[in-house]
Amino acid sequence: AQTIHQWPVAEIKAVGSPLSLGCTIKGKSSPNLYWYWQATGGTLQQLFYSITVGQVESVVQLNLSASRPKDDQFILSTEKLLLSHSGFYLCAWSLEGGNTGQLYFGEGSKLTVL
Amino acid sequence: SQLAEENSWALSVHEGESVTVNCSYKTSITALQWYRQKSGKGPAQLILIRSNEREKRNGRLRATLDTSSQSSSLSITATRCEDTAVYFCATDAGSSGNKLIFGIGTLLSVKP
């Protein structure tokens, strides 16, 4: 069975501090991977997607960057957090393109920037 | 501007009743998806309906798609308290197979 694991579950960070959020997918080889951001009570905004190791496409940057160092791992990071980075970060995977295939979301990482 | 949006911020029904969530979109699409997100959890796909389909069912769920009016609906029959969640429609951006745009979401509350 496929599993998707996001870490950490929650973080409280100071403005200006660095951030790294991670996502690991087990049980599927070469999935398409996605990062979404969701403000509290808001919609999901796609940030990045990757269809292969080492290649990441930016949709909306929001002063964040993403990397895919391994086939089953997707990392979201920034060197300096802003207050506006607070929210819920969701990693997802699919086997087809995200618009015609099913997206499988992780449980998310809640980020609070103070 | 949003490419996909639900037409109601919130709906409230009693258990056993039926409810419909509507969605409109502004560009031509390949497919439209409906997702449900329970509080504090990641969304889960309910139905994917392609542009050449008019209706799709999944248990108590029924989605329709009208490409002429650029609208879709998700109907839930015999609602249960566990159907309480935010419901999103999502569509592709037309130019890439890997971009999915979500609507603002409709909060459905099902009361006992």
Question: Which token pair is A71?
Answer: 């086939």
DSSP-derived 3-state class of residue B42? coil
Residue A59 with chain B: CB contacts under 8 Å: 99
The terminus-to-terminus CA distance of chain A in angstroms comes to: 38
Q: Are A4 and A105 in contact (CB under 8 A)?
A: yes
Of all residues in chain B, the percent with pLDDT exceeding 90 is: 76
Give the dihedral of Cα atoms B85, B21, B76, B68; nearest 10 deg: -140
B95 interfaces chain A, CB cutoff of 8 Å: no
- Helix, strand, or coil here: B40? coil
- Return per-residue pLDDT of chain A as tens, 114 residues: 788 999 999 999 999 999 999 999 998 888 999 999 999 989 999 999 999 999 999 988 789 999 999 999 999 999 999 999 999 999 999 987 656 778 899 999 999 999
**DSSP letters of chain A?**
--EEEEE-SEEEE-TT--EEEEEEEES-SS-EEEEEEE-TT--EEEEEEEEETTEEEES--TT-EEEEEETTEEEEEESS--GGG-EEEEEEEESS-TTTS--EE---EEEEE-
- Residue from the list A51, A59, A99 with its beta carbon closest to the beta carbon of B30: A99
Q: Who wins on pLDDT, B91 or B3?
A: B91
Q: Is B55 a residue whose pLDDT tops 60?
A: yes
Phi, psi of B99 (to 5 degrees): -115, 125
pLDDT score at A102: 83
pLDDT of the residue at B1: 32
Residues A107 and A10 sit within 8 Å (Cβ to Cβ): no
**B interface test, pick of A30, A99, A103, A107 with most B CB neighbours within 10 Å:** A99
- The domain containing residue B67 runs over which residues? 4-101
Has residue B20 been placed in a domain? yes
Q: Which domains does chain A carry?
A: 3-113 (2.60.40.10)
- Count of domains observed in chain B: 1
CB B92 within 8 A of CB A99: yes
Check residue B2 and give its pLDDT: 39
User: Which residues of A make CB contacts under 8 Å with B?
Assistant: 32, 34, 42-46, 49, 51, 57, 59, 90, 92, 96-108
pLDDT of residue A28: 83
Q: Identify the CATH number of the domain in which residue B25 sits.
A: 2.60.40.10
* Residue reference for tokens 């998806």: B33
Q: How many CB atoms lie within 10 A of CB B68?
A: 5
The answer to whether residue B111 sits within a structural domain is no
Structural domain contains residue B109? no
Confidence bin at B5 (pLDDT 50/70/90): low
Rounded to whole angstroms, the Cα distance separating A110 from A12 reads 9
Residue B112 located in a structural domain:
no
Q: Is residue B108 situated within a structural domain?
A: no
Best residue in B2, B86, B100 to probe A by mutation, most A CBs within 10 Å? Answer: B100
B79 contact partners, CB below 8 Å, separation of at least 6: B13, B14, B15, B16, B17, B18, B19, B60, B110
Contact A112, A82 (CB under 8 A): no
Chain B residues touching A51 at Cβ < 8 A: 98
